[in-house]
């Protein structure tokens, strides 16, 4: 199949492109190189793909989607977004609206006229908000508590609206705190490994009971791949590990693995952060035959190896 991946130079997009190329698909990868972290890092993410005959890369934005008219594809995996929960307050909100809401709407305007094209839309666990129910099941109504999560929920609503109005075949995947090689530098595990290895202080936000369903990127990619290859439509599906780990335990685990002392500075709860997440993955198991296989310790080890190889630590 011919697959368009938006955000293909990002953390998850670059892994997905590699997996899809290996599975024999033809990939058109686009990325606008948003400046949320260094362009060189994103270029390095796709450097191993550029020589592959089945991978074509283009630097493009969805804000002006006129270039899409000349491109032929069967499926779009829409990963492009401005990510980051805690950074989305204040003046940066307009960038979140532009890149998460407007860009999605412009893509949908193109897709509404393409018969037979499918959309795999990538969303976020943050749309659930701060709630007592656990695990989080897809039927819970979104209650976002950060500006970022509001833009991700809006994008989901647009996907559902265009699908209903124009018969677009779409599926929405909600990813839970993804980690592993190429993780974004603003994310917790990256920051923790870097700080601990350099003997610096780790900042832990909120109380010791903050927890996340940390999901290894290879498991996430398997879930997306399965959604690409199966004709599932009009569904919202969680992609998590199905296990929660406290942020504090992750920090001490990293200290143990690196053989370094951990220095912790406790900082208050950050606005927009939810206290905990845990995905119900029953639906993913049933519809996608999804089976996350990477346990947190093994995943962090792989991220440490990558951070060494990339000379980050």
Give the pairing of strands 2-6 and 118-124.
Answer: unpaired
Binding segment toward ligand UGA, per CB under 6 A, in 48-56, 110-118, 130-138, 202-210? 202-210
On the 0-12 / 13-18 / 19+ scale of CB atoms within 10 A, 298 is exposed
CA–centroid distance for 207 within its chain: 25
Quick one: three-class SS letters along 157-179?
HHHHHHHHHHCCEEEEEEECCEE
**List of residues 6+ apart from 111 with CB closer than 8 A:** 76, 117, 119, 162, 166, 168
On the 0-12 / 13-18 / 19+ scale of CB atoms within 10 A, 83 is buried
85 counts as binding ligand UGA under rule CB under 6 A: yes
* Nearer to ligand UGA among residue 61 and residue 124 (C-beta): 124
**Of the listed 96, 128, 148, 290, which one is catalytic?**
148
* Cα(143)–Cα(141) distance, integer angstroms: 6
177 counts as binding ligand UGA under rule CB under 6 A: yes
Give the pairing of strands 235-239 and 169-175.
Answer: parallel
Binding segment toward ligand UGA, per CB under 6 A, in 18-26, 27-35, 68-76, 183-191? 183-191
> Residues 135-174: x/- map of binding to ligand UGA (CB under 6 A)?
----------------------------------------
Determine contact, residues 251/186, Cβ cutoff 8 Å. Answer: no
20 counts as binding ligand UGA under rule CB under 6 A: no
191 counts as binding ligand UGA under rule CB under 6 A: yes
The DSSP letter of residue 215 is E
210 counts as binding ligand UGA under rule CB under 6 A: yes
270 counts as binding ligand UGA under rule CB under 6 A: yes
Q: Is 148 a catalytic residue?
A: yes
Binding segment toward ligand UGA, per CB under 6 A, in 37-45, 82-90, 163-171, 300-308? 82-90
On the 0-12 / 13-18 / 19+ scale of CB atoms within 10 A, 305 is exposed
Binding segment toward ligand UGA, per CB under 6 A, in 100-108, 160-168, 197-205, 305-313? 197-205
> Residues 234-263: x/- map of binding to ligand UGA (CB under 6 A)?
-------------x----------------
Among 125, 163, 170, 197, binds ligand UGA (CB under 6 A): 125
Q: Is 285 helix (H, G, I), strand (E, B) or coil?
A: helix
212 counts as binding ligand UGA under rule CB under 6 A: yes
Binding site for ligand UGA (CB under 6 A): 83-85, 124-126, 175-177, 187-188, 191, 203-205, 210, 212, 247, 270, 273
Q: Which residues are catalytic?
A: 148
């Amino acid at each position: 199949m011919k697959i368009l991946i938006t955000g293909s130079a990002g953390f998850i997009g670059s892994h997905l492109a590699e997996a899809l190329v290996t599975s024999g698909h033809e990939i058109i990868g686009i990325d606008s190189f948003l400046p949320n972290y260094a362009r060189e890092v994103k270029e390095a993410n796709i450097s191993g793909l550029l020589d592959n005959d089945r991978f074509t890369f283009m630097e493009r934005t969805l804000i002006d989607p006129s270039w899409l008219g000349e491109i032929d594809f069967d499926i779009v995996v829409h990963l492009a977004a401005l990510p980051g929960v805690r950074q989305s307050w204040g003046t940066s909100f307009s960038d979140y609206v532009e890149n998460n809401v407007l860009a999605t709407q412009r893509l949908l305007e193109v897709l509404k006229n393409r018969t037979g094209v499918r959309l795999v839309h990538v969303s976020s666990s943050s749309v659930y908000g701060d709630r007592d129910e656990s695990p989080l099941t897809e039927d819970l109504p979104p209650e976002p508590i950060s500006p970022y999560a509001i833009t991700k929920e809006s994008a989901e609503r647009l996907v559902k609206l265009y699908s209903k109005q124009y018969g677009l075949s779409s599926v929405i995947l909600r990813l839970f705190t993804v980690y592993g090689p190429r993780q974004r530098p603003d994310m917790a595990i990256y920051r923790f490994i870097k700080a601990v290895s350099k003997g610096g202080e780790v900042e832990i936000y909120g109380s010791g009971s903050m927890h996340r369903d940390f999901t290894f990127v290879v498991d996430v990619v398997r879930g997306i791949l399965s959604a690409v290859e199966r004709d599932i439509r009009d569904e919202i599906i969680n992609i998590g590990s199905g296990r929660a780990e406290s942020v504090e335990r992750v920090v001490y685990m990293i200290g143990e693995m690196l053989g370094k002392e951990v220095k912790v500075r406790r900082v208050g709860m950050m606005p927009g952060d939810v206290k905990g997440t845990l995905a119900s993955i029953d639906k993913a198991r049933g519809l996608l035959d999804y089976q996350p296989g990477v346990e947190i310790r093994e995943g962090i080890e792989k991220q440490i190896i990558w951070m060494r190889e990339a000379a980050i630590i």
